[in-house]
Amino acid sequence: MIINERDARHEHLLTVGKQMMTAARTAPKGKGIDIIETALITGEEIKQLSQKMIAMVEEHGMKFFLRDADNILNAECILLIGTREQAQGLNCGYCGFSTCAGRVSDVPCALNSIDLGIAIGSACATASDLRVDTRVMFSAGLAAQQLDWLKGCKMMMAIPISASSKNPFFDRKPKQ
């Protein structure tokens, strides 16, 4: 049997994406409370995400969304990682409020943000170990959040995944 890498790439990258999801799930969490949600998107959903990012430029004017919207079309799949909002009850003050009860509802619990960052780091370390191309994207994460693809998540990031001779997610030119 001969298996050509080009023929096996898509399925392999889906497997890598699933391994990245597991890495995010098993990453350490504040107080051991798991508020992380993950999903992989492919094909039509990537196109839908790109279109949403383009539409968002009209709302906020952040032109880099145009570049990123074009850029994610080079991904075989995209990992979405988010956190559900849940105050951890430590009254740590990291959010800017002295108590969890005094925190304004639109202000995220700092531990939720830290948990998201650790999950992203764990997922990206897995991608690196498996030698695939990635980039953490706030823009695509915000668009996915607005599409409500991870129900109940207040903070989301997206990680496009690719395997090519040159990482398509770096050395990017701004779109006009």
Q: Residue 78 sits in a domain of what CATH number?
A: 3.40.109.10
Q: Give the pLDDT score at 36.
A: 96
Q: How many domains does the chain contain in total? A: 1
Residue-number span of the structural domain to which 135 is assigned: 5-162
**175 located within any domain:** no
**63 located within any domain:** yes
Structure tokens at 122: 């764990």
**174 located within any domain:** no
**151 located within any domain:** yes
* Nearest CA among 147, 122, 153 for reference residue 37: 153
Share of the chain above pLDDT 70, in %: 98
Residue 172 above 90 pLDDT?
no
**172 located within any domain:** no
Task: Summarize pLDDT for 105-147 with one digit per residue, the tens.
Answer: 888 899 999 999 999 999 999 999 999 999 999 999 999 999 9
Residues composing the chain:
176
Query: CB within 8 A of 62, min separation 6: which ones?
Result: 56, 139
**116 located within any domain:** yes
> pTM score, two decimals?
0.93
Separation CA 18–CA 89 (nearest Å) = 32
**176 located within any domain:** no
Could you give the C-alpha distances from 22 to 75, 147, 150, in angstroms and in order?
Answer: 20, 23, 16
